[in-house]
Amino acid sequence: YYYPTSAGHGIDIYFIDTGLNTDHIDFFDYEGFDFNRTVTYTSYYQNPYHGTAVASVAAGMIFGASQKANIHMIAVDLSVISVLRSFDYILLNAKPHKTIINMSFSGGSPYYQANEDKLSELIEKGFILFTSAGNERENCCAPKESEDFHAIAGYRKAITVSAAFSNFRSKGYTMEDFANYGDCVDIFAPGFVAAAYATESRLSYYPMEGTSFSSPLAAGVAATIMS
């Protein structure tokens, strides 16, 4: 398949997640090459396992969809207030029209007007948002009045990504058994990936699955197109 050499160069991807192992080889900044990239880590919380894999899929040096994109991890505990603070941080520090935001978290959650307002503000300022649909095999698109409301997909602001796989028998694509669905889902991407693993080793990679990885894969493709 065609893969442009720009590979996301000059595009910032912000990850609102739980942490990042910046020592992993996947996040090499290409120092000494004729190009380089920025890798930043703003930490309010530290549990790097999920975030390391997510960032690897989007922009890792080995398997990333946009291997030259800038990586900015905002590590939080994913509480409502911490996510809102992350939105404010991005609004203050990121470059509009050159920034993608990935939010690989989902699930049942009350609706908050403050969340919707911040998501709308980010879009109006020129940021592109991606979020995962979730892995409960249920509708993630219930209205805000419903007890089944899901964040972030239910706000219908971000590009919501669910998971699919290649079905060799039918020669087509099939939704993964675990993947959430609904009319707010915008696109499907592979949900089974190889990604960096946050151990003491700088070279660890493991197979992983979930829409948490479908979303950054789509975000990485978007970064490559934008570059």
Catalytic residues: 17, 50, 212
> Residue 55: which of 77, 76, 32, 72 has the closest Cα?
72
Are 160 and 184 spatial neighbours (Cβ–Cβ below 8 Å)? yes
Sequence-ordered list of residues with C-beta below 8 angstroms from that of 122, at least 6 positions apart, any chain: 87, 90, 91, 101, 129, 157
> What is the Cα 94 distance to its own chain's centre?
16
Measured CA to CA, the distance from residue 79 to residue 102 in angstroms comes to: 16
Are 139 and 108 spatial neighbours (Cβ–Cβ below 8 Å)? no
Are 93 and 34 spatial neighbours (Cβ–Cβ below 8 Å)? no
